[in-house]
Amino acid sequence: MNTMSKTLSTGSDTSAAAVPKVRVRDRILDTARGLFYRYGLRAVGVEAIASEAGTNKMSFYRCFPSKDELIAEYLREQGRGYWDWWDAAIAPHAGDARRQLEALFDNYMTLTCKDGSRGCSFGNAVVELPEGDHPGRRVIEQHKAEMRGRLRTLSSEAGASDPEALGDTLMLLMEGGYLTRLSFCSQGPISVAGKAVRTLLNAHIPAVAPTAKTPRAASPKRSKA
């Protein structure tokens, strides 16, 4: 059960306050991101975070009212990074939702299979936060709802006959990849995600007359439900 061994190197170097021009709050948040993601929420104490960030517990509590609030802030921060990544992944194929979905999943596979990946911060966090009233839960539920919405929208734009079903299926796929990553290293079931997406896309998007290459341009108001 002793997850975090004492791997902390000297957070600040020899002389006091030499390098760290960054605000304590930012250093703490950044350290927390790494530690929470690697070891989990409950496994990491505020003292460990503070010391790894080159400061101490007292300064920690000047920046954050509680550990729970830090967790919530950590999740918000992860969320910002996540959507930046997402937008960057689909940007090159603007106007072609089908290729956007393919690119998204290709990108997601490379990222999630990398060494050191521990899947999805939100998925992992929600496992450790069963309490309905934890400040982090709102962030998680909002994030996952947004993810679902975006996948449904992309599915709709791609011309799926049942965009809600396709979007949700893609979400299951993605979340499954995140989760299995934790038990399978890199050669797990996630390897087939790219192929699976294409199979599902083919099954859900009705074939069009072979004139245009892309099924539809943007703004396709075609959902039915």
Told to check if 24 binds DNA by CB under 7 A, we report yes
- Selected binder of a second copy within 183, 210, 211, 218 (CB under 8 A): 183
Distance of CA 105 to the CA centre of its chain: 13
Contact 109, 186 (CB under 8 A): no
DSSP letter, residue 15 = S
- SS3 state at 107: helix
Told to check if 17 binds DNA by CB under 7 A, we report yes
Could you identify the residue written with the tokens 């106007």?
Answer: 95
- Selected binder of DNA within 58, 207, 209, 212 (CB under 7 A): 58
Choose from a second copy, DNA, none: what does 38 bind? Cβ within 5-8 Å by kind: a second copy
Task: Output the smallest distance, CB 124 to a second copy, in A.
Answer: 5
Told to check if 78 binds DNA by CB under 7 A, we report no
The DSSP code sequence of 146-177 is HHHHHHHHHHHHTT-SSHHHHHHHHHHHHHHH
Cα 76 to Cα 78: distance, rounded to the nearest angstrom: 5
Distance of CA 7 to the CA centre of its chain: 26
Under rule CB under 8 A, which residues in 118-147 are in contact with a second copy? 118, 122-124, 126-131, 134, 140-141, 144-145
- Residue 77's closest CA among 121, 40, 126? 121
- Selected binder of DNA within 59, 107, 117, 142 (CB under 7 A): 59
The DSSP code sequence of 2-71 is --S-S----SS-SSTTSS--S-HHHHHHHHHHHHHHHH-STTS-HHHHHHHTTS-HHHHHHH-S-HHHHH
Contact 120, 144 (CB under 8 A): no
- Selected binder of a second copy within 150, 171, 205, 215 (CB under 8 A): 171
Task: Output the smallest distance, CB 120 to DNA, in A.
Answer: 22
Told to check if 204 binds a second copy by CB under 8 A, we report yes
DSSP letter, residue 212 = S
Choose from a second copy, DNA, none: what does 196 bind? Cβ within 5-8 Å by kind: a second copy
Q: Which segment (38-46, 100-108, 147-155, 178-186) binds DNA by CB under 7 A? A: 38-46
Binding residues (CB under 7 A) for DNA: these are 1, 12, 16-17, 20, 23-25, 44-48, 54-59, 61-63, 66-68
Binding residues (CB under 8 A) for a second copy: these are 1-3, 38-40, 42-43, 67-68, 118, 122-124, 126-131, 134, 140-141, 144-145, 148, 164-165, 167-169, 171-180, 182-184, 188-193, 195-196, 199-200, 202-204
